[in-house]
Structure 1
Amino acid sequence: MIVQTCINGARPADFHPTLPLDAEAMARDGAASVAAGAAELHIHARGADRRESLAPAAMDPTIAALRRACPGTLIGVSTGAWIENDDTSTLVAIAGWRELPDYASVNLSEAAAPIVMESLRQRGIGVEAGLASVADAERLVSLDHGGRVLRVLIEISEQTLDEAFAVSDGIEKVLDRAGIRRVILLHGSDATVWPFVRRAAEHNWSTRVGLEDGKDLPDGTVAAGNAALVAAAVAIFRAGR
């Protein structure tokens, strides 16, 4: 069981006053999050224009800055298709990274997921299989990647709690039926962040919080930043033990 923090994601600059959008800001924020109890960091590198980018010019200095600020901490990135908006560009970018993350998340809903996963493996980068639907889970099983991924990321976007729980339960059933026994990290977004942190603690699964997923604390107030979100999630995990 760990708490991972996703410090920025695709959020715009005005989402939160402390949203980190350059390498040094991410390094400072990452260090504060680790100090608050985060076991891992998930980041979306940004280019000079502060847009998400997988290009080595954005990725390499960001990963290097985080390594300096957070030695020994696992660092993950996204490979979301929207970042480069072109599958070939995504693959070229991955092949060009000089500063490698420890793992990268791959959304099984995206057409190029299998080749992106293989490209990451060829570079020695762990794969975090992102499942947002039952269909995603079934695809993972059909690709025979279930036993080869670093972990399974169950990421729920539905904002109605009953619907969100139903999707999560459906994904879990597919994985159980297929005999996939990988580490599971469960998280929601916005309205479902904290219900899923609690559910993860109940299941002895890992979870994640951070400004990528939402900015509110469990009491509904806006968090001062990623470190405060991490501290709240760690407190829930400790209380559940």
Structure 2
Amino acid sequence: MLLKAAVNGGRSKAERPTVPLTPAELAADTVAVLAAGADVVHFHVRTPDGGQTIRPDALAEVLTAIRAAAPDAVVGTTTGLWTCSGPAERYELVRAWTQLPDFASVAFSEEGAAETAVLVRERGMVLESAVWTREDVPRLLASPTLHDNVRILIEPVEEDPVRAVVEARAMAAQVRAAGVACPILYHGDGATVWPLVRAAVEDGHETRVGFEDGTALPDGAPAADNAALVRAARALAAG
């Protein structure tokens, strides 16, 4: 089972002191989560004031640090609209990236997703596309990059754990019914993290954990760091 570590997202130090924010912290955390059992690493570039960005200079600084510390790591980042002013600026920023992550994520809940996904592929990056609701799936299925994805991320927005699993499975069924053969990855947020990890294991899909999604271990205890979450996910999958 492929396991992705999503190491920071928009998480703050106030929420979890060990969340990696700086390039040096992201590099060290990449080494740690890979040693703990993660296969790939997803990060968000953070600004000094705690914000998120996809500016070329800031991304290059993070990638330089990660690749110095973990040259063989497979790492990716977001193209989320919250990192910029809107679809037009996102497109221009991604087009201006001077150093490229191995993969980039594009959410089909967002305006301009199809165009951004095409740009990701044109620039030579591996693409992973995300859906958050059943309503997102037709937009994904209509995209010209549908069969170029390394995986489809299914990220249900339902806060109830039972409903989140139901929605994840329904979206997966929509994707498979359209003939999409690439791997599917389930992941949750907060209370839905571990139910969706378990569902991914049961359904034979990929999954992810990390401070972007949640800070608690399966028993509800706070995780010391991202590596602890990765080890817990590996133990759950093995068990």
**What range is the shorter-chain TM-score in?**
over 0.9
Deviates more, 1:100-109 or 1:152-161: 152-161
Matches within 5 A, 1:1-241: 1-239=1-239
Query: Partners in 1 of 2:221 and 2:234 — Cα distance?
Result: 17
Letter of the structure 1 residue corresponding to residue 2 of structure 2: I
Shift of 1:179: 0.9
Whether contact under 8 Å (1:22, 1:50) holds in the other structure is no
Query: Partners in 2 of 1:86 and 1:144 — Cα distance?
Result: 21
SS for the counterpart of 2:149 is coil
Whether contact under 8 Å (2:44, 2:77) holds in the other structure is yes
SS for the counterpart of 2:53 is coil
Query: Partners in 2 of 1:79 and 1:42 — Cα distance?
Result: 12
Shift of 1:193: 0.6
Shift of 1:144: 4.2
State, as a whole percentage, how many aligned pairs show the same letter: 37
Whether contact under 8 Å (1:7, 1:29) holds in the other structure is yes
Provide runs of 4+ in structure 1 moved above 3 Å.
none
Segments of 5+ residues of structure 2 without an aligned counterpart are none
Residues 101-125 of structure 1 show CA distances to partners (whole Å, capped at 9, x for unaligned) of 0111111011110111011111101
Segments of 5+ residues of structure 1 without an aligned counterpart are none
How well do the aligned residues superpose, as a CA RMSD in angstroms? 1.2
Deviates more, 1:188-197 or 1:165-174: 165-174
Query: Partners in 2 of 1:30 and 1:218 — Cα distance?
Result: 22
SS for the counterpart of 2:216 is coil
Whether contact under 8 Å (1:47, 1:57) holds in the other structure is no
SS for the counterpart of 1:15 is coil
TM-score by length of 1: 0.95
Query: Partners in 2 of 1:96 and 1:145 — Cα distance?
Result: 21
Query: Partners in 2 of 1:190 and 1:162 — Cα distance?
Result: 13
